[in-house]
Amino acid sequence: MYTEFYGLNSKPFQLSPDPGFFFASSVHKRAMAYLQYGLSLREGFIVITGEVGAGKTLLARKLIESIGQHNIISTHLVSTHLDADDVLRTISRGFGLPPDSSSKSTLLNNLHKFFRHSAQQGKRALIIVDEAQNLTPHAVEELRMLSNFQMENQSLLQSFLIGQPEFRITLHSPDMVQLKQRVIASFHLTALKAMETEDYIKHRLHLSGWQSDPTLAPDIFPVIHEFTQGIPRNINLLCDRILLFGMLEEKHHLTLEDVTAVIDDLRQEVTHSEFPASGAAPSRPAQTPSDSATPLGINLQQRLDQIAATQTSLLQLTAAIHGSLASLTQTLLDDRKSHSSGASHD
């Protein structure tokens, strides 16, 4: 492992969200301020949106950590197109309740009792919904109905809805008016700025015990930012591979040439084909429902589909040419036979 080679005490660029590695960029500072205010209200919905890998889940976990886990009972729901009843059962299971399958009313009654008991003990119930853009309208409605639970005019539940940019459009649809009215705080996470990318990388390295081994050439940071488009998860993935490359090559100083070699390797890998293709200028995707969910750069599968379509067209064209040649050959043979027959009669 490169952690031993470079004397690090942990992996600085792990992909799983760790609040201990939270980096307070300009946009993350503003997001935290908005969300802390929303959390202090102890009710309603808090919405966090952003591109894939922008740090939405990490921000939510850092926010909860900042107010103290001992005061919160939470469950984390990763939405994968769950319907309304599945959402209720998953939430019940997350809070340690038996996911009663007999009726919806029993599920709701058990949850209501649990929320009241938690409030009486001075604890807050919190639901964190990841990939909220995948929630069905009925599932969203169930979450809204849960927010109606109160005790002495105090809400018993608060929910975080974490989703990709298209979830913002969902919230503005006519069917979501009642839910939107209960959103007390929201923020859209954007990518890191170019200067922040360098600070982000060094921040994570220092937290892992980095003692300037390896040393990093200053000109690598603009290239890293351009290639990853400032998305933290992409930065983590690339920098992890750069350190691995450095260990394999036994390098203690990483240069632009080294970073370029790793980028070229990533572009050739099927698993990382979401990165910009060689020679392409990586530009930030526009905030549209279709583009926001599209991976960075040209998807390899799209290329393969295009190649397959081209091959099919060529095969069809070849077959047509063969058919035309066969028809022409037969016509010539028929003409020759006709002439031969006419000559014999003469």
**How far apart are alpha carbons 49 and 133 in whole angstroms?**
9
pTM of the model: 0.70
List, in order of start, the domains of the chain with CATH numbers.
26-189 (3.40.50.300), 209-293 (1.10.8)
What pLDDT was estimated at residue 19? Answer: 87
The residues near 11 (Cβ < 8 Å, ≥ 6 apart) are: 3, 208, 240
Beta strands in the chain (DSSP E): 45-50, 72-78, 124-130, 150-151, 154-155, 157-163, 183-189, 215-216, 253-254
Residue 299 confidence class, pLDDT cut points 50, 70, 90: very low
What pLDDT was estimated at residue 204? Answer: 96
Our CA angle for 202, 256, 201, nearest 5°, is 15
What pLDDT was estimated at residue 103? Answer: 81
SS3 of residue 332 by DSSP: helix
Q: Which string of b and e fits 230-241 if b means at least 16 CB within 10 Å?
A: bbbbbbbbbbbb
| Tokens (6 digits) for 108 | 């709701």
What pLDDT was estimated at residue 206? Answer: 96
User: Considering the chain, what is the average pLDDT of its residues?
Assistant: 80
Residue 117 confidence class, pLDDT cut points 50, 70, 90: very high
Say yes or no to pLDDT of 314 above 70: no
pLDDT tens digits, one per residue of 136-191: 888 888 888 898 898 888 899 989 898 999 888 888 888 888 888 888 888 898 99
Count CB atoms within 10 A of the CB of residue 329: 10
pLDDT higher at 71 or 27: 27
Question: Which of 279, 310, 317, 316 is closest to 297 using CA atoms?
Answer: 279
What pLDDT was estimated at residue 286? Answer: 39
Using a pLDDT cut of 70, give the percent of the chain over it: 75
- The burial class, CB within 10 Å (0-12 / 13-18 / 19+), for 170 is buried
SS3 of residue 71 by DSSP: helix
Q: Are residues 257 and 217 in contact, defined by beta-carbon separation less than 8 angstroms? A: no
**How far apart are alpha carbons 231 and 219 in whole angstroms?**
19
Our CA angle for 336, 341, 342, nearest 5°, is 100
| Tokens (6 digits) for 141 | 């409605």
Say yes or no to pLDDT of 205 above 80: yes
Say yes or no to pLDDT of 338 above 70: no
SS3 of residue 185 by DSSP: strand
Residues, the chain: 346
